[in-house]
């Protein structure tokens, strides 16, 4: 009878010692993080319009001030944007996992490579990756 109890205790202690998931950001911080990234996306959208490009509404989908927008890119368009994002070289100032993710997510949403590279040097980008 003692062997199963000792085995159970050993398994329990082993499970407690296993590394867990990284803690999630505080729930109060998430809306601020989303707002900062949305300001970056709004600036990228405006930059594309100023260049005469035709930015998709997908760039702003999910941003609080643009609640009525829906995805407009076709599935092939979304796939192509994802491939462009994965293949895009990172600008010199984009360092760290969060910066990499935000930069590539801009491109995946439909921001052109030239505008994404331009945005990577802005204060909005620096704020979005904090």
- Please tell me the pTM assigned to this model: 0.76
Given CA atoms 40, 46, 50, 54 in this order, what sign does their dihedral have? positive
Q: Taking Cα atoms as reference points, which of 82, 80, 121 lies closest to residue 105?
A: 82
Cα–Cα distances (Å) from 8 to 1, 52, 72, in that order, read: 11, 67, 55
pLDDT in tens, 11-57: 555 555 545 555 555 556 888 999 999 999 999 999 999 999 999 99
Average confidence (pLDDT) over 70-83: 93
pLDDT in tens, 45-76: 999 999 999 999 999 998 988 888 888 999 99
């Amino acid at each position: 009878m003692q062997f199963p109890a000792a085995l159970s205790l050993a398994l329990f202690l082993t499970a407690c010692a296993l590394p867990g998931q990284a803690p999630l950001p505080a729930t109060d911080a998430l809306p601020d993080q989303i707002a900062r990234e949305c300001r970056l996306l709004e600036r990228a959208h405006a930059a594309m319009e100023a260049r005469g490009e035709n930015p998709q509404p997908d760039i702003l989908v999910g941003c609080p001030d643009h609640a009525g927008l829906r995805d407009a890119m076709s599935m092939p368009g979304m796939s192509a944007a994802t491939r462009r994002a994965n293949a895009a070289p990172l600008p010199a100032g984009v360092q760290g996992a969060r910066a990499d993710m935000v930069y590539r997510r801009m491109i995946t949403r439909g921001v052109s490579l030239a505008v994404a590279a331009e945005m990577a040097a802005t204060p909005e980008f620096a704020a979005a990756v904090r």
